[in-house]
Amino acid sequence: MMSTTFNAEQPPERPVDLADGDELAAFVETYDDVLVEFYTDGCGVCASMEPVLSGVARSGVVVGTINPRDDPPLVEEYQIASVPTFVRFRDGEPVDRISEGFVPGEQLQAFAQG
């Protein structure tokens, strides 16, 4: 059940917490280019990425975050072997990924903008 609607005319200026795979699908379909962080609670590196993701979102990149433990099929669907994993989506499809732990803001922004 989708609890959130997204508006392509008003991209979010902060990371959007996505509840499940349905929200993820709606989110990446709404915007042309999207960066999604797959994280888990208790992941120190994931927590340290929060201010970086906020900065990237303020720069105009559409950013979503999702905990794949809340929707286990996402782990296999997006091949999440470690967290944080950042997946860039274009036109609703995953096109690139980074799974290298902490990623500095400039590097993450450049990755997100392709």
Integer CA distances (angstroms), 7 to 50, 53, 58, 110, 114, in order? 23, 20, 17, 24, 22
Handedness of CA 85, 98, 61, 4 (dihedral sign): negative
pLDDT per 10-residue tile (average), the chain, 114 residues: 74 96 97 97 97 97 96 95 97 96 96 92
* Cα gap 38→67, rounded to integer Å: 6
Catalytic positions are 43, 46
* Cα gap 61→15, rounded to integer Å: 9
79 in helix, strand or coil? coil
Q: Confirm if 103 and 26 have CB atoms less than 8 A apart.
A: no
pLDDT for the residue 2 = 47
Domains and CATH numbers, the chain: 16-112 (3.40.30.10)
pLDDT for the residue 3 = 52
